[in-house]
């Protein structure tokens, strides 16, 4: 479960030959000219945004850029390519902007931001102001509720970021040690949930349904698997069945996880595939507890399936449906 990662790097390139510099970056580094927010939306931790400015500025800012070039490579590769391929003749100066860390939010947004700001003695900023005012040894932490394994759209970031007067390696090291604690303190109840998911399939297709479950939990980054084992579940008084149990450690509530399990019990067209029973503190979480639609279970499951699809990429939906088709056809 990824809680933070690096974001893109920012390079401010001063030159009197804007067109030649842009062309050099395009030819030698597959650069693409872009608008700032468009480039930011595409950027990952291995990307860089180059702001091409003239030579008249004592300190360059995002708004000074005559052109912005997106390059899907890290700053060190860009700098070595400029040096080794004659691009230095076009340069007046290159300044590194601040490093960028993307952090996933759980619980109270403002509470986590305040804790990070206090912990690092930072300053709250907006995105453009943070990039413009930050120096090469500074770090911006940006916050989002979305999964951060891929690029995150600008609209999915919280408007408040934290600018820290420390280099990214120091910030990352402190987040590795203290980040989880800070996130936990921002949760509503100040704790994570340890849940048990029991898989029961009368046709014996445990592995296939386990694979679907893990696929979705992984794609949605819903938590960490603490353990797995076979166990007995007493579905009816004095009558036990063997189930395969997955223990999940998550900051999502039992009701949020139950909705996902309901979505996976049925296909979109209503075919029943499996029983996913959820337990929290040794108590079963019943589907009626999360049935906000007040309708039959299969219809509620279909509604939650549609909610699930909105959180998945098209290729992930295709993979899930192919897994289910394999179960039905066997």
Lowest mean pLDDT among 123-137, 166-180, 277-291: 277-291
Query: Which pLDDT value is given to residue 164?
Result: 97
In the chain, the percentage of residues whose pLDDT exceeds 90 is 74
Q: Are residues 289 and 178 in the same domain?
A: no
| Closest listed residue to residue 221, CA positions, set 295, 152, 301 | 152
Residues 179 and 234 in one domain: no
Q: Which of 133, 165, 186 is the last residue of a domain?
A: 186
Number of domains in the chain: 2
Q: Would residue 107 be called left, alpha or beta, if left means φ above 0 and alpha means ψ between -120 and 50 degrees?
A: left
Q: Is 60 in the same domain as 130? A: yes
237 has pLDDT over 60: no
Closest by CA position to 103, among listed 173, 46, 49, 179: 179
The per-residue pLDDT for 293 is 63
Q: Does residue 207 sit in the same domain as residue 271? A: yes
Beta 9-14 vs 48-53: how paired, if at all?
parallel
**Burial bucket for residue 160 (CB in 10 Å: 0-12, 13-18, 19+):** middle
CA dihedral (272, 305, 277, 289) positive or negative: negative
pLDDT higher than 60, residue 309: yes
Question: Which of 162, 186, 210 is a domain's end point?
Answer: 186
Mean pLDDT of the chain: 92
Q: What is the DSSP string of 185-229?
A: HHSTTSS-EEEEEEEE-TT--HHHHHHHHHHHHHHTT--EEEEEE
What whole-number distance in Å separates Cα of residue 87 and Cα of residue 20?
A: 9
pLDDT in tens, 18-70: 999 999 999 999 999 999 999 998 888 999 999 999 998 888 889 999 999 99
Residues 242 and 141 in one domain: no
The parent domain of residue 291 ranges over: 193-329
Do 53 and 169 share a domain, yes or no? yes
Q: What is the pTM of this model?
A: 0.85
Task: Assign 268 a pLDDT band (cuts: 50, 70, 90).
Answer: confident
Three-state DSSP at 146 gives: coil
Residues 190-204, mean pLDDT to the nearest whole number: 91
CATH number of the domain encompassing residue 201: 3.30.70
pLDDT digits (tens, 9 = 90+) for 280-300: 998 999 988 887 667 788 888
| Residues 200 and 164 both lie in one domain | no
Instruction: Indicate whether 219 and 150 sit together in one domain.
Output: no
What pLDDT sits at residue 236?
57
Angle, helices 168-186/109-119, rounded to nearest 10 degrees:
140
CA gap 250, 192 in Å, rounded:
6
In this structure, the answer to whether residues 160 and 235 fall within a common structural domain is no
Contact 89, 20 (CB under 8 A): no
């Amino acid at each position: 479960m990824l809680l933070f990662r690096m974001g893109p790097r920012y390079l401010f390139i001063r030159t009197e030959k804007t067109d030649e510099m842009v062309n050099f970056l395009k030819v030698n580094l597959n650069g693409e000219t872009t608008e700032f927010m468009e480039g930011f939306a595409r950027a990952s931790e291995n990307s860089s945004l180059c702001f091409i400015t003239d030579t008249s500025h004592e300190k360059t800012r995002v708004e000074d850029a005559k052109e912005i070039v997106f390059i899907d490579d890290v700053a060190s590769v860009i700098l070595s390519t400029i040096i080794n391929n004659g691009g230095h003749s076009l340069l007046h100066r290159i300044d590194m902007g601040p490093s960028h860390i993307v952090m996933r939010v759980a619980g109270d947004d403002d509470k986590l931001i305040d804790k990070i700001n206090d912990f690092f003695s930072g300053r709250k900023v907006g995105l453009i102001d943070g990039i413009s005012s930050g120096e090469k040894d500074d770090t911006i932490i940006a916050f989002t509720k979305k999964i951060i394994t891929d690029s995150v759209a600008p609209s999915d970031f919280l408007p408040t970021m934290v600018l820290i007067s420390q280099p990214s390696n120091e910030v990352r090291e402190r987040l590795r040690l203290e980040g989880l604690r800070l996130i936990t303190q921002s949760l509503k109840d100040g704790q994570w949930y340890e849940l048990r998911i029991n898989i029961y399939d009368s046709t014996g297709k445990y592995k296939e349904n386990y694979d679907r479950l893990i696929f979705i939990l992984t794609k949605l980054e819903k938590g960490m698997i603490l353990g797995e084992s076979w166990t007995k579940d007493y579905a009816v008084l004095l009558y036990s069945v063997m189930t395969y149990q997955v223990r999940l450690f998550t900051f999502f509530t039992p009701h949020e996880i139950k909705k996902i399990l309901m979505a996976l019990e049925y296909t979109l067209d209503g075919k029943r595939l499996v029983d996913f029973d959820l337990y929290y503190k040794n108590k079963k979480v019943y589907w009626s507890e999360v049935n906000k639609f007040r309708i039959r279970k299969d219809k509620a499951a279909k509604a939650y399936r549609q909610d699930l699809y909105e959180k998945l990429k098209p290729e992930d939906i295709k993979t899930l449906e192919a897994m289910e088709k394999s179960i039905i056809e066997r």
